Every structure is written in C-alpha cells, then in structure tokens.
Structure 1
Amino acid sequence: MQSLYPEIKPYARHALAVQEPHILYVDESGSADGLPVLFVHGGPGAGCDALSRRFFDPALYRIVTFDQRGCGRSTPHACLEHNDTWALVEDMEHIRQQLGIERWVLFGGSWGSTLSLAYAQRHPERVQALILRGIFLCRPEDFRWFYQEGASRLFPDYWQDYLAVLPPAERGDLMQAYYKRLTGSDEIAQMQAAKAWSCWEGRTASLRPNPQLVERFHERALSIARIECHYFVNQAFLEPDQLLRDMPRIAHLPGIIVHGRYDAVCPLDNAWALHQAWPGSELQIIRDAGHAASEPGIADALVRAADSLARRLLDLPLEDA
C-alpha cells in the first residue's frame, strides 16, 4: 500500500473576498513551481484539513486547498446567502486567476467530484486533468437513495437515529423536513437536525466503523447539514443529468476515477455512468472500501494516481516513483 505523504504546513495563506458576504480561506503548500493541483473538498460544507495536502508529492505539486463558501475557515460560517454551485465554480476560477495559474489539475471527492466536473465543463481550457473519487452525479435517484430510501435498508439502525428528530407526519419528504429545521429560527431544533444529518453521513461513509470519521462530521455538523441540505433540495443547482450530458466538453482531458465497491453514500453506478460517458477515463474500483478518502485502499489509489499523473504531465520517468 502506498502511504500518504507526511503532513506539511502551507507556505502561503490567503483570504480572498468574493461575492459579499463571503471571504474564502485558501492556502498553498508543496513546491511553488510544481504542477498546480486544486483540492476540491466534499460536502458541500465540509472544508479542508491537514489530510487534504497529503495525497500529493510536495516535491512535484503546487498544492492549493480552499474552504468553499460557508465552511471551514471561510466566513461567514454556514452561510447560505449567494451559495450555489455556479458561485463556487466562479470562486475556483477567481482563485486560479489570483494565484497566477494558467492550468491546473483538479482533485475532488464526493461533492468535490461534482464541483470539479462542473468547473471543468465550464472552463475546460483551464484544466489539465482530473482525479475524482466517490463520484456524486447529483441525479434525483442519488438524493433519493441516501436521504429518502435505499441506504436506509443497509443501515436500519443508523437510519432510525436519522428519522428520530422528525415527526412521522413529515417523513414523506425527509430533505424538505430537515431543510425547514436547518433554516428555521429554533436554534435547538437546528442543532439537533444538524447533528442527526451529519451523523448519518459519517456513520455510513466507511466500510468499517470509523469513530474518528464520525467525530469529524460532528465537529462540522452545522455547515455540513445546512449547506448540503440547501444544495440538495435545489438539485445541486444542476439541470437533470447535466454532468453526464456535458461530458463531451471535457472528453479530451485525462481522468482517473477511484470508487469504493461498497460505497453506500454514492453507489458505484455513479462512477460507472461517468466512465461510460468518458471513454478516455481510467476507472479503478476499490474492492474493499466504501466512500471515505481515508480508507486504506482508496487513499493508496489516490496517492498512486496523483504520482503517476504528475510524472506523466511533467514528463518524468515512471521508474523513479
């Protein structure tokens, strides 16, 4: 198994003002003259952390991470105002321009794969390649699977806790019922809903139980739950099947897709459908993994993908890897 790279500290940090009231946290690490890569985190609403930088060889990559609107160290926290997919796409483009990057690699997992595809399809000339994990196409069936019925049959014990904060009369449309509480004025009800929403995701994100992963979801409960629910009741601000429909725009770009065989959050058919629409992509199905990037098989595949892609794009010998 290929290990993650050791933790490193950023060499530069930026606070970028975008559309009011949002200010984005951005940092850079690795090699200032290396291959630019943008780490696009999941959620939406999760934010970046020290793990985000550890998939990349710091001698080869100029690593850019940022916290999307309303989450992590970006401000204001859990803010839904002017917060949608296309605002985030333009934030990414703003970051690229501000950092003086001509073209970059996109590295996104889960919602980060969604946003990476949306950005690449809007700005294909600015992308060199994509490494995507835990594909989330944001189709109606994908929302229904995880937030209404589907994954509930795999985890009925965890699902019971997800339902517990809602009265039976409101369970016909669970996302709308959660949205009412997450955007309401009752702060106690809001936090109860946020913790239940994020706990459901954290518990189901890995093949084997991972208390540390669940705790990370708890720590970010309000931003994850509010922002995810805001996006998902609005169908991620995408047209039906938009990401698959627009794949011809980026069919020429190299791509590596990594997806866990037993991903219960974003089932494997997401990755399969994307691969079918992107013949030049490489699909790696990790046989003993679920959804989380921290799972050993997925982390191994992502590090190897980043290493091989950098050497290909920088024209370095593969045998040195």
Structure 2
Amino acid sequence: MKPLYPKILPNATHFIEVSEQHQIYVESSGNPAGIPVIYCHGGPGAGASSDFRRYFNPEIYHIILFDQRGCGRSLPSPSVEGVDMVSMIADMEKIRQFFTVDKWLVTGGSWGTTLSLAYGQSYPQHCLGFILRGVFLATQVEYDWLYRANGVAKFFPEYYQDFLLPLNEQQKRDPLSAYYQLVTSDNEVAAIAACKAWYLYEDRMSSIEHQADSKQEVDDPHIAHCLAMQSAHFFYHNSFMAEGQLLDNIHRINHLPAFILHGRYDMICQLDIAYQLANAWPTAQLQILPVAGHSGFERQTIDAFCQAADKMAEFIGNH
C-alpha cells in the first residue's frame, strides 16, 4: 500500500477577491515549476484538508488547494449568497489566471468530482486530465439515494432516523427541502441543530475503515455549518445544473485522460454512477476499490489516489 506523501507546509497562501462579497482562500505547495494540479474538496462546503497536499509528489507537482466560496477559510463563511455552480467555475478560472497556469490537472473527491467535471466541461482547453475519487454527478437519483427513505436509509436506518429528528411529520415527506429551509433560516438555534444532524448523518456513513458509529457530536461546528448549509443550498437547487448535464456534456472532455477511483462500499456516492461515467468516457480508467467506502483517507483509497497521481505525472511528462 502506497501511503500519503509526507506532510508539507504551503509555500504561500492568498485571498483572491472573486466578487464584491467573496474572497476565496487559496494555497500553493510543492514545486512551483512542477505540473500544476488543483484539488477540489467535497461537501459542498467541507473545505480543504492539509492532507490533500499529500496525494501528490511535492517534487513533481505544483499543488493548489482552495476553500470554495462561502466555506472554510474563505470570506464570508458560511455563506450561500452569490454561491452557485457558475460562480464556482469562475472562481477556479480566476485561480488558474492568478497562478498564470496554462493547463492543469484537475482533481477532486465526492462533490469535488462534480465541480471538477463542471469546470473541465467549461474550460477543456485548460485541462491536462482528471483524477476523480467518489463520483457524484448531481442527479435526482443521487439526491433521492441520500435523503429519501428508500435509499441509503435501508442500510443505515438508525442514522436516518437521527437525520429526521429535527423535522416534523410534514417536513419528513421532503427532507431535502425541509433541511434547506432550516439551515438557511433566521432561527439560529434550529439552524445549528439541523447543521449538526446533517453533518453527523454523512460522517457516520462515510467510512468502513474509520467507524463513527458512536459519534454524537461534531468535531468542528464551523465545518458542520458550512457543509450543511452549502450542501442543502446546492442540492435543493439541483446544483444549478440541468438534470444529467455532466454525462450529457462528457464529449467536451472525453479526449482527455482520467482516473476514476471508487470504493465498492461507498454509501454516499453510488458505484453505478461512476460506472456510467467511465462507460461514457473512452479515455477514462475506472478502478473499483474492493474494500473501501467513501472517505478519501482509507488505505486503499490513499494508495489508489497517490498511484494515480504518479501515473498521471508520468503520462503528462511523456506527452
């Protein structure tokens, strides 16, 4: 098993003004003259982990991480005002221009795959390729799987019941809509309780290697608030995309190389979604991780991602 690369510090951190309201936190590490790579974090709203730097060989890669607008260290945070898919894509393009990068490797996990694909389909001329871990295509089937009673709730009924606790009987008929109303409401007590319940629901199901069964409290209330608010905001609005948009537009990037990594026991993002994507993308290679869940930091996932980054560097260097 290939481990994460050793811990490194950023070479520099920046706040880039992307609108009158928003500044996004951006950092760079590794080799400034290396292959540019950007990593898109999940959630939406989860923020970038310092461990994302460690997927990439710092001697070969110029590693760029950022907190998407309205979350993490970006300002203001948490916020959903002026936050949508078009603005997220525009923010990534501003980051590329800030670093004067012509083409970069676009990577991400979970919701980060959604953003990576949406960006790539908007700016294929600036992409070297993709590494996508835990594919999420933002379709109604995926929202229903997560938030309706006949989806992942069948595997985790007790977690789903806890997820429904902040809702009344009427609201339980449409949990996603109800949560959106709660987490964006002026009732701060109700909003915070809902954010914690949302965060715990996803956290408990995210890994088969690092069990969170007994978890009753969130580690970081700010992260929970950002993740729940932005996730509910995006998913309630269908991620500001047409149904099936990412698959329908795969022709825009299907000449580019891609590694698609997916845990067989990923309970957040369904394997068959990744399978559909790989089947529609002739230059993509799907690797099903036989004993992995959703988390980006299980042993098989770390091994697969680091190896994919190494192989992609070799491929890019030869072309």
Q: For the residues of structure 1 that align with 2:87 and 2:199, how far apart are their CA atoms?
A: 24
Q: For the residues of structure 2 that align with 1:299 and 1:19, how far apart are their CA atoms?
A: 35
Q: TM-score, normalised by structure 1?
A: 0.96
Q: For the residues of structure 2 that align with 1:107 and 1:218, how far apart are their CA atoms?
A: 27
Q: Which moved more, 1:30-39 or 1:201-210?
A: 201-210
Q: Which runs of 5+ in 1 are unaligned?
A: 317-321
- Displacement, 1:142? 0.3
Q: For the residues of structure 2 that align with 1:217 and 1:297, how far apart are their CA atoms?
A: 26
- Displacement, 1:167? 1.1
RMSD value, Cα: 1.5
Q: For the residues of structure 1 that align with 2:137 and 2:72, how far apart are their CA atoms?
A: 23
For 1:29, the aligned partner's letter is S
1:11 touches 1:28 (CA, 8 Å); kept in 2? yes
The equivalent of 1:35 in structure 2 is 35
The equivalent of 1:319 in structure 2 is none
**4+ residue runs over 2 A deviation:** 208-212, 214-219
- Displacement, 1:208? 3.3
Q: Which runs of 5+ in 2 are unaligned?
A: none
Answering whether residue 117 of structure 2 is matched by residue 152 of structure 1, we say: no
The equivalent of 2:130 in structure 1 is 130
Q: For the residues of structure 2 that align with 1:208 and 1:4, how far apart are their CA atoms?
A: 16
What SS is found at the alignment partner of 1:29? strand
2:132 touches 2:261 (CA, 8 Å); kept in 1? yes
- After TM superposition, the structure 1 = structure 2 runs for residues 82-121 of structure 1, keeping only pairs within 5 Å, are 82-121=82-121
Total equivalences in the alignment: 316
- Displacement, 1:216? 5.1
The equivalent of 1:220 in structure 2 is 223
2:72 touches 2:78 (CA, 8 Å); kept in 1? no
Structure 1 pair 238–216 and aligned structure 2 pair: CA distance change class (3 A): farther
Answering whether residue 245 of structure 2 is matched by residue 242 of structure 1, we say: yes
- After TM superposition, the structure 1 = structure 2 runs for residues 1-321 of structure 1, keeping only pairs within 5 Å, are 1-149=1-149, 150-211=151-212, 215=218, 220-315=223-318
Q: Which moved more, 1:119-128 or 1:179-188?
A: 179-188
- Displacement, 1:304? 0.3
- Displacement, 1:20? 2.1
Q: TM-score, normalised by structure 2?
A: 0.96
What SS is found at the alignment partner of 1:198? helix
1:203 touches 1:209 (CA, 8 Å); kept in 2? no
Q: Percentage identity across aligned positions? A: 42
Q: For the residues of structure 2 that align with 1:206 and 1:274, how far apart are their CA atoms?
A: 23
Q: For the residues of structure 2 that align with 1:303 and 1:219, how far apart are their CA atoms?
A: 29
- Displacement, 1:148? 1.4
What SS is found at the alignment partner of 1:300? helix
Q: For the residues of structure 1 that align with 2:87 and 2:265, how far apart are their CA atoms?
A: 32
